[in-house]
Copies of this chain bind each other. A is one copy, B any other.
Amino acid sequence: VTGQDTWTAGELARRTGVTARALHHYDALGLLRPSRDAGGRRRYTAADVRRLHRILALRGFGLRLGEIGQLLDGGRADLGELLRRQLTQTEERIAAARRLRRDLREVLGRLDRDTEPSTEELIGLIEVMVDMNTRLTPEQLAEMTRRREEMMAELTPEQLAELRRRREEATSRMSAEEREEANRRRAALLPD
């Protein structure tokens, strides 16, 4: 019984995978306004369905609903330009997510290797990593030094020895290139 030529919001939702609420939302925004039947129910025609497909396609490319509306109507927006901007943003997001992944793996790796560090210690480790990946202002640098001295002052001699041991171990596992790279990265953090 597919001889119908209009669909309700629910039917369309089931067909396309979007929720009925999303269709209401597009209606409220003026992005997709179906006609109504006598009872006030939304009635989507084939043309409405086509428009919905375009909306979903453009949405999938990261465009805002407002931008989509401008494109589909007057066309006051330049699709090529919008897509180029999306590409730039997407590339930035990929790069940022990769850095985050690297750091998460690093922290989780230590969590597995070390003898169950406490949450306390883990947070400390994360803090240090975040500091290392942030380009520091002179003020922040001074602050970091101050904090480090504070922390060091609170350690027992045994803890200090352990810290030194771990640091040496980490350095000894590095190749010459890795050591150079680590130095470069450290230097890059300092203000220009």
Contacts and interface: CB of A to CB of B under 8 A. Distances in A.
A97 B90 contact: yes
State the number of copies, please.
Answer: 2
Given A94-B101, A100-B90, A101-B90, A54 B108 contact: no
A114 to B, nearest CB: 11
Contact of A123 (B16, B62, B79, B104): B79
A90 to B, nearest CB: 5
Interface in A4-57: 14-17, 49-50, 53-54, 56-57
Interface stretch (A81-89, A155-163, A164-172, A173-181): A81-89
Q: Give the interface residue-count category, chain A.
A: 35 or more
Contacts of A62: 100
B108 A71 contact: no
A20 B63 CA distance: 31
Contact of A103 (B61, B84, B104, B127): B61
A64 interface: no
Of the candidates A14, A60, A71, A72, the one having the most CB atoms from chain B within 10 angstroms of its own CB is A60
Nearest to A86: B104
5 contacts: A14-B139, A16-B140, A71-B123, A79-B122, A83-B104
